[in-house]
Amino acid sequence: MVQEQLVARGIRDERVLAAMREVPRHCFVDDALHARAYGDFPLPIAAQQTISQPYIVALMTQALGLEDSARVLEIGSGSGYQAAVLSRLCASVYTIERIAELLTTARRVFDRLGYFNIITKLDDGTRGWDEHSPFDGIIVTAGGPQPPEPLIGQLAEGGTMVIPVGDQYVQELQVLSKVDGKVETKVLERVRFVDLIGEHGW
C-alpha cells in the first residue's frame, strides 16, 4: 500500500509514510472486508459512510504539515482510521462524529490499539470544539459547500486546515493557511466525499 499507492503518487513526507505503515487499516473495517483493507479504493463502513482511499488519507495528512507537538481537530471520525494515522504524528487528536454507532466502534478500536491521545465527541462538528481551540491543524473528512466559519476561527495562527469544498457530487481539496490573521487558500485535487451535514454544512 505505502510503496505502490503513496510513494508512487508522490507522497514524500517520511513521517506520514511511517504512520501509514504502522496503523493497521484492517482493524477499522468490517471483518468481511479485511482482505480488501489495503486496496487502492475507499471502503464502506456503517451508516452508509466510507473510509477514504489510503492515498487521500496520506495526501490530506501530508498537507497538514504536523509537528510532534501539534493539536489537531478532525471533523468526521467515521471508522477512526484517519484519526489513528494523525495520532501517530502529533500530540493529540480531537475528533467529532455525528453518528453514534460509528463513534462507538471507532472508540473501541482506539482502545484496543492503545491510541490514547485521541479524544472523541458526538456532535455536529461544523461548529468545531471551542473549549480546546485553537488547533494547529483542522481536517474535515466530509464535503461541504464552504469551509465552516467556526472552524476558521478555531484555527491557530500559522495553522492549516484541509477540507473538501464543492457540491454534493464533486469537491476540490482545499488547503487553508492562517498567516497574519488572514486566510490563504490553495487547491490540491478533485475528490469525492460524503456530505458534511450540519449547521455550517449541508
Contacts with ligand SAH, residue ranges (CB under 6 A): 49-52, 75-76, 78-79, 81-82, 96-99, 102, 124-126, 141-142, 194, 196-198, 201
Q: Considering the complex, what minimum distance in angstroms separates the CB of residue 87 from ligand SAH?
A: 12
Angle subtended by helix axes 14-22 and 54-64, to nearest 10: 140
Nearer to ligand SAH, 52 or 176 (CB): 52
Residues in the chain: 202
Q: How far is the CB of 186 from ligand SAH (least distance, A)?
A: 22
Report the relative pairing of strands 92-97 and 118-122 from DSSP bridges: parallel
Catalytic residue, chosen from 52, 77, 79, 87, is 52
Task: Tell me the residue nearest to ligand SAH as measured from the CB.
Answer: 78
Pick 124 or 172: Cβ nearer ligand SAH:
124
77 is catalytic: no
Contact criterion met (CB below 8 Å) for 58 and 16: yes
Contact 140, 164 (CB under 8 A): yes
Nearer to ligand SAH, 159 or 201 (CB): 201
Nearest approach, Cβ of 167 to ligand SAH (angstroms)? Answer: 15
CA–CA distance, 4 with 17 (Å, rounded to integer): 12
Nearest to ligand SAH of 100, 179 (CB atom): 100
Distance CA 117, CA 6 (A): 25
Q: What minimum distance in Å lies between the beta carbon of 12 and ligand SAH? A: 22
Nearer to ligand SAH, 88 or 98 (CB): 98
Q: How far is the CB of 98 from ligand SAH (least distance, A)?
A: 4
Q: Is 102 helix (H, G, I), strand (E, B) or coil?
A: helix
3-state helix, strand, coil in the chain (%, to 5): 35, 30, 35
For residue 92, what is its C-alpha cell?
Answer: 493529540
User: CA angle, 123 as apex, 133 and 102 as ends, to 5°?
Assistant: 120
Burial class (CB in 10 A: 0-12, 13-18, 19+), 82: buried
Catalytic residues: 52
